[in-house]
Chain A
């Protein structure tokens, strides 16, 4: 068919269709551009920019108002006055000497005469002076010109000279003799010309410099004044500059038109728009994307969070825009309604907020247009003086620019008009109004709250290096809210986010951001030792308090016993915190000792075992024992049995051994301690006997069980407990006991108990234990002992008195790895001749500590099985055995009470307990063994037979990344929703309470001082948040419920488990919701993903020493007794608040004067511009009075009374400095009058680190001391208690401290308690020593000092002797050498020996007054410390009773000091001589022990040697040191 002109389709229609599709295309394209143009982050950037610009403008205005115009005017007046003043004659003539031209000189002289005329009006004089200065300037210019001219002439001449020289050199090369001569002459001529010019030039230069200097000297005053004027505007100028910078980004000119904004228009914004995505990245900071490699992290978070790193003006760490928070003020209203003001032109102006209160409101808010925002606050207005009622952090009095008014009294403020109405029209004049404001900005406009720690340029985690997502997680490269994987902190927030930003839970991003509450988790990525995150001097607030709490809970409750946290991947690669049990060497050794054939070993072999039990860190001993055991095992006739041989595996080396001890007591000798009844009751429910126990509950967790499942638990659990009791008691091994010394003074039981009570209180027990008799002591290191007597007061208990005595005397005998120290409870002999044994007294007291507790009724019956019980026993036995042998064999076993022979042949392990005829006891023992294995009791306790048992729980090293699909959530959501969702006290109206399920509940008691209603509210939030997490199958939800009701995951699951033993076994810990969250925070942080090493925290050697030391401090609770660091107070005060400290500076030894750098002094002189206050930092302790009570005064200046309630802001504290302080540039010394600090001055008060016991006992020991000495002064009581250890590193010698820690001895006889001996390894002691040395910047480990240098001593001696020799006979002090004469001071009855023991000399008198032995000081104290100590003891220890013996007074001959009859020289010489003597005491005494005389020529040499040893021994007789210990 031929083609026609007719088209197939109706062209009109096709055109229409085409038109439509074209339109669609257009829409799609426009939409595309619009979508790109309106990306979320661009809005945030625009908004941030406008906020920034407006805030800066407002702050500029604010600053302008603040600049004191009066001061400025004053300065300007001074400038004017100075400008009218003719230059001083002397300066002017100095200038003239530099002027060469006579005419000019003359003219200058004339001008000067004119200017010097004083009778003219100031402005004329000013003109004259200006003219003079101008002409002087001309003279300077001329001199400059002359100088330049000469300089260029000299240059030319130099060039000519160089040319000639070169020509000469060429001539030499070419051998042109004639020319050489000629050129040589020329060279000389040129050089002379140059030198002449140079002289001229130098003269001109000198002249110019002189003129210039004179002129600037003349102008100096005016220049300085002008600089001051400019400085007043500093802050303003800074703001102006920053405003300029910000505006420059989008205003190219002053025309307020688009400018660079052109580039932000749609489509155009694709090309170099000022709005840009920010990328933060650092090489090597990578993120792993699944398992296919890692890529560099690109964080774009700052694209929206623009101000995250901005600091407030004038501060390096305060956020510029804090995250929004509420502040409440009280605004004083004028007495009466203000009247309209009529101005000059007769316009009446109504009173406005500005005229009345001094505030002006912005036309629209910063973030939301309707915010009622303050844009101006006049200084000295009512608003500026609004009183702060409540607010967080640094809030101060006075409204601020940028505050958003939300409420006036109870009325919500929605618009500026409303605010005006409330404050002007409807105001109740003469009263006050409460104003609520919102301060700061919301996300993403706010700045980081901890710029001192993160993001800030001075912080350890700089934004440019670390970015954001390495800590916060989330998808850093995303630029849209919902894709970033922000994590809501509460279900409410989640809903808001979902609505506002389309947030959703993106399961596919494996690193969702940590919700706010877990944000500390990520610290663990790099801070593997954890303790470094505790509060340090560097930061005002602790960096990670929640995480630290979690860490300490895990440590205290021994979670690591079952759930190992292995911080190593291979021997050297650290991947996270390391919390593992130490190798079980001591238990293995103890088990070897229990071998039936142990008695056949020889002495050496036995000693290895004994040593290893008490010193498991002695590797050489262990290796000896190990190789012996290995050989014995392989030998044909082994001495020992399998009991010992089984320990070979335990004793072997471990690659990177764990370091933590088991948290519970040893049960190896349990039968020596308690009876079965108590044990049964305790295992069943530890809280029944001791509500505060850390032991979790294993039995009775039935709330998730129903019907039959629960019946099964009820039937088998008692059998399990009984099995445990049987096994523990039957397998218990005998213990060594100590017996009380004989010859004690007879006393009644009551007397013993009452003595024991006092001893318990004052011997340091309270540093670790609580007891109801002493409610003030709240330590929880050891168990609470309030009703400990009940434990031993049950039928079947072994000899309690004997056990308790031995335990107190030497705890290691019962448990070699206990942290309880040996308290050295030695027999006390009193002056009246009575002798008592403190250990028995305390034992009696403790055994007497009882209340009405009794084991649960029927416990005694449960220990004997009835018929039902026997049936259940067989049932449980069946459950256990069927896992090990065929059901048929099990049935046969139970029927015949004997394991069939064919089965028995192949049996190993626990079933061996059942060999032979099986009786009930055997069954119970077997059940006990299997139950211990099942519940992992050995994770916390040392149990015989479980030396090599492995942890039973899931390892936690990377739990924070555990795939949630690998967590068995089972039916937990249903359980929470339907059955018992809100178990515990947080229960709301869910479910029927009359039908409360049986079984133990979670603990959710409010903490002390916590409001009950608030607690309930928080608990409900907690449940809501985590339930949501459980529903989402989130790890946090899993662990939350696991900690709350560990076995609830068995809900509706237990019924289908094949065996009773397959049920969950985790016990329930007494955690409240805060504890749980802390533990969760810690565990979620265990991700074992350390970033590349440069980002991991690598402490300096000093810091590392402090970290290791801190761990030891915590382990042995050193802080329980000792104040490690005194209190630190930050204060702010008005100019002149603290007067000079007093004391004559001439009366301080020159080397004792506090030493501050100029920077420190300048810093202390810096004044807070906003409030004109100085800042100070005080280190010390609150003053205590004679009774040992802290001194606090009320408003009237009277001491506060105990029961009266005071407004804490009105109190006045008294503060003793323990370290020199700088206040307003003035140095304050230690040991002078206390400072009086009103509470209102204190901005931050950091508690003393440690020393709780000291705090509690201060008044108590004063009371006790007064029993013997009514004059005892409480101000010295610190000296009677465990000494504060601030500055310890500088004080004592390292090797002495090391020895002392391992083997403490009595330094001073007087103290109430003495340093106990801790169960510490040499490594622990070393860690502590280096901790002190590093903390106090002491030289460590070896200190070389000139004080003990023999040559120097000889020199000084010779020098001294020469001086003394010149003295008249009568004035010579007795003694031959310098040291001997120094001994005069010591032995003078007025000085040292008045209190101090010196070698064999004892001063006698009151024990409290007796001071340490001086002959051993040389081993203990560092020389410099000793020197300072002798010079001025109170400056080192403000509480010491030691007086200043050798006075210093620069105004006196010999600077004062002690009598010249004792020692010749100044007081400095005397101090130094005493130091020399004490530091070289052994040398000194050696020199006086004449061994040679003792050697009789005919005698054998041995005797002489023996004598020498004895003499040497005398020097180091452990005795005493100086006051303060």
Chain B
């Protein structure tokens, strides 16, 4: 393997050196900006420190080109950390709980995190870790796959826009407390179609075209495995934007994960304008004035959509097993998947009897009857979830919502919310109880 690794390092070396050099220049510019324009010498010093750090790392990045690829490993992520990440953190539970925790911390610490200084440090650190990780063959293999490169870029873009929204929202919330109008209101002027709109659009168009051309030259379309009816690629992955849905397949029946839940997502998004009774927060960023909407959206989008895409793209390997970012995608890795249904819990484990089944040769109705009988615990729970919970919620936590929204709007909202909650609930059930399905009717491909 050594030969291969050296070759690999030589291969990434030029890129990596330049990468760190660019990071260094980026920080140097930031330092210059802080020093000259903002006159903040302490910040300038900090950025300069980063610039120097990256500048020092850069020659190591170039080492492979100069024939000593092994020295590159000095700036790689230490293997202790890699092993820790791969062996301890790399599982769906840690990942999901970790991201949830991160979101919670970010939410509550938003005042701190939206500070440009903190954000810039965060950006620097994440770029640095990415660069250091690329020295690892496995990490690089996933990240530099021509298909995945734009996804990596989009992760950073997403981070930026989420930060931008939070940054503005925090400012607006502060102004609101002080009784000032939001920042957006200050710009409440009408602008000219030309040059403000069309000219800008044209610039965007030109820039975008240029970038697309450069992208096409730089990252040629990869040759993939030939399609074969007898051999599916392992792992088989959907296009990146569907990988969130594909991840749901781990927890749900294809029918649910592929049809019902995606439809409800669309329906739910369409329903939002009709459900939203909150008049505040129109046309400007805010968190405090729309806490419910903000949290729900961020939970649905960041937690249940984006992180699952990242999980599906970068961390799901052969056999759809979970692989750490530095782990070899070895198809021989086996994860025991022993899960059983609620009915089995109830009948076999709980009551110690066999699952009720219709006598052989019985007609359809009898069969359906027996199936219903067999699955009655799950059916009861499900019915309770969708029928009993909303009224309960209406009289407790969502009391004010119910009052303001009225029955129909409230019930729609509550059910959509409950459907959304199904995914995390199901995940937790799977992790804790090894629960396969709540209702399990394989006879009609109907599972929940």
Contacts and interface: CB of A to CB of B under 8 A. Distances in A.
B4 A1031 contact: yes
Interface in B362-376: none
Interface string A722-742: 000000000000000000000
B206 A11 contact: no
A857 interface: no
Contacts of B7: 495, 498
Contact of B196 (A9, A28, A290, A506): A9
Contact of A1 (B190, B192, B195): B190
A509 B223 contact: yes
A677 B194 CA distance: 105
A7 B193 CA distance: 10
Contact of B206 (A25, A292, A509): A25
Contacts, number: 93
B229 A291 contact: yes
Nearest to B229: A291
B190 A14 contact: no
Contacts of B206: 18, 21-22, 24-25
Contacts of B211: 24, 28
Given A7-B195, A290-B226, A508-B226, A24 B190 contact: no
Interface in A1-23: 1-4, 7-9, 11, 14, 17-18, 21-22
B354 interface: no
A28 B210 contact: yes
Contacts of B189: 1, 4, 8
Given A25-B206, A25-B210, A35-B217, A1028 B3 contact: yes
Nearest to A969: B332
Contacts of B207: 21, 24-25
A7 B228 CA distance: 59
A977 interface: yes
B228 A8 contact: no
Interface residues on B, range: 35 or more
A1028 B200 CA distance: 55
A27 B3 CA distance: 38
B328 to A, nearest CB: 12
Given A7-B192, A8-B191, A508-B224, A963 B213 contact: no
B195 A14 contact: yes
Interface in B160-202: 188-192, 195-196, 199-200, 202
Contacts of B195: 7, 9, 11, 14
B196 A21 contact: no
Nearest to B189: A1
Given A7-B195, A1028-B3, A17 B210 contact: no
Nearest to A511: B226
Contacts of B231: 291, 963
Contact of B331 (A292, A510, A965): A965
A25 B208 CA distance: 9
A75 to B, nearest CB: 63
Interface string B261-288: 0000000000000000000000000000
Nearest to B195: A7
A977 B213 contact: no
Which of A24, A491, A510 has its CB near the most chain B CB atoms (within 10 A)? A24
Interface string B200-236: 1011001101110110010000011111111100100
A31 interface: yes
A29 B4 contact: no
A291 B225 CA distance: 12
Looking at chain A's contact residues, the main secondary structure is: helix
Interface residues of A, number: 41
Contacts of A1031: 1, 4
A483 interface: yes
Contacts of A1028: 3
Contacts of A24: 206-207, 210-211
A704 B66 CA distance: 39
B192 A17 contact: no
B213 A14 contact: no
A8 B196 CA distance: 6
A289 B224 CA distance: 12
A508 B221 CA distance: 13
A90 interface: no
A1416 to B, nearest CB: 65
Contacts of A973: 1
B224 A21 contact: no
Interface string A962-974: 0101000000010
A695 to B, nearest CB: 35
Given A3-B192, A29-B213, A508 B203 contact: no
Interface in B263-321: none
Contacts of A22: 206
A32 interface: yes
Contacts of B200: 9, 14
Interface string A499-512: 10000001111100
A990 to B, nearest CB: 13
Contacts of A510: 226
Contacts of B331: 965
A21 B223 contact: no
Interface string A263-294: 00000000000000000000000000111100
Given A3-B192, A291-B228, A14 B203 contact: yes
B210 A27 contact: yes
A26 B217 CA distance: 14
A1031 B4 CA distance: 9
Contacts of A483: 223
Interface string A1218-1240: 00000000000000000000000
A9 B189 CA distance: 12
A24 B191 CA distance: 28
A292 B190 contact: no
A506 B3 CA distance: 17
Nearest to B226: A290
Given A290-B228, A291-B230, A508-B223, A32 B217 contact: yes
Interface in B20-65: none
Contacts of B4: 1031
B50 to A, nearest CB: 26
A476 to B, nearest CB: 14
A21 B208 CA distance: 9
B146 to A, nearest CB: 12
Contacts of B224: 508
A292 B228 contact: yes
B22 to A, nearest CB: 17
A981 to B, nearest CB: 12
Nearest to A3: B190
Given A27-B210, A491-B3, A18 B223 contact: no
A476 B202 CA distance: 43
A1028 B4 CA distance: 9
A616 B190 CA distance: 103
Nearest to B331: A965
A4 B192 CA distance: 8
A827 to B, nearest CB: 67
A290 B227 contact: yes
Contact of B199 (A14, A291, A508): A14
A1018 B19 CA distance: 43
Contacts of A289: 226-227
A327 to B, nearest CB: 34
Given A8-B189, A31-B214, A290-B228, 13 more contacts: A4-B189, A7-B191, A8-B196, A14-B195, A14-B199, A14-B203, A21-B206, A32-B217, A35-B217, A508-B223, A508-B226, A1028-B3, A1031-B4
21 contacts: A3-B190, A3-B192, A8-B192, A8-B196, A9-B196, A11-B195, A14-B203, A21-B203, A24-B206, A25-B210, A28-B209, A28-B210, A28-B217, A32-B213, A292-B226, A491-B3, A499-B10, A508-B225, A508-B226, A965-B331, A973-B1
List of 9 A-B pairs having minimum Cβ-Cβ separation, nearest first:
A290-B226, A290-B228, A28-B213, A8-B196, A28-B210, A25-B210, A21-B207, A8-B191, A24-B210
